[in-house]
Structure 1
Amino acid sequence: MSLFFEDVGDGPPVVLVHGWPLSHRFWELQIGPLVEAGRRVVCYDRRGFGRSSHPWHGYDLDTFTADLAALIESLDLTGLTLVGFSTGCAEAVGYAAASERVARLVLGSPVLYPDPLAHELLTASKRHRIPMLDDLLLRFFAVDGHSTLDEPTRQYLLRHAAESSPKATAGSLAVWGAADPRPELARVTVPTLIIQGEGDSFVPPDDSGTRVARAVAGSSLATIPAAPHGAPLTHFEQWNELVMEFLAR
């Protein structure tokens, strides 16, 4: 089992964790600005996705978190900022709650709590995986039923999602459907920024950012107007500005 990762730039480290069913390519509009701002940026593909190994087993939260821990510790990163997006927030929270290597935590459009949508998508993924992914990536970037992402970029993301392991696609959904993030959220003590798209139609803000902000003591919640679930792509300037301000505090 091997994880593909990129390690670029110099300075205080920032580790980016993508969400299901994407890959590290999702972070293209964050990597450059962070490097230019004097940060060392590490981003990777979760097991079963992108260019990482596609094993048959290991699509559970403990293993995802162990993968992240192994990467961080192999690079001996300390004082790092850990940035998660969507379902990738789960292992970001799990690692931040347990490790002294994390100095700051950013959770973008967090998907942490169980949702009936996971079971619906799991059923679809077993029979109609590609159409399911296509529909999903419409919802990821939709506000009031209208796409906020150009179609060529959406198709680019769809190609990467389609190349992921079918077992990983289904296994990750099963994890989401059975999640209980409350113990880990209660143990997060580092400064935490939560960024939520106001128009998120994939997971409503009250079940995502707002709920997580209530669970993490001392955290701050920032909302981007008219932004969808995939705000780091569609509203990258606002999203990056919020992160840079948080890093500078």
Structure 2
Amino acid sequence: MTSTDAPRARLAAVLLAGGASRRFGPDNKLLAGIGGMPLVRRVALHILDAGIDDVIVVTGAEHDAYVQALDRLPVRFVANPVWDEGMGGSIAAGVRLVRDNADGVFIVPGDLPNLTDALFRCLAHEFEAHGGHKIVVPVTSDGAQRNPVLWPRSAFAALAGLNGARGGKSLLDTLGGERLDVVFDDATLFADIDTQADFDRFTAGASFTAGTSPISGTSK
């Protein structure tokens, strides 16, 4: 399969947009403009361009602002009422809305501007190649775990039971035997924006990877 092929598996994505981005300062980092659009919209478009069947956006602090930022995109929204208790509740809220026919779900932090549609397709290909039963984890060439992680249906119940600060990594620590690592040589794909300094670096043109660039991921 080439990086331009849409996934054959029925896949969903939970796009996490429920935090308060306190480290960024007074503004919301996911609503900050990058490449002429809010950061969260940039990420959502790459998910949709990859042919993901269903995108669920989990909001918290600023629900209406996210609805406006993602106007006219074919996404669904869910507000997490306990968003300030940690990422686990947001993951759970999103996974509970995944449709019954989904084979897998991506958990996608909203602050990763260099994600590409080709990266999502590459991970989906590895998921399909291994029967749709593995937890597909992108890693850097030095073995560092990154996001987004693609979870099979067998893990949905565990994801839906997360709460507080317990994110998906807490499950990876216990489900290691079901994990498939996919190595990406370009670590900048996974750069995130946490602070105003990070944002200034990205808007200055550093560390960007075009969404149409070919992606080569090697499973191990």
What TM bracket, shorter-length normalisation? Answer: 0.3 to 0.5
Structure number with greater CO (CA < 8 Å, separation at least 6) is: 2
State the TM-score, normalized to the length of structure 2: 0.40
State the TM-score, normalized to the length of structure 1: 0.36
Structure 1 or 2: more helix by fraction: 1
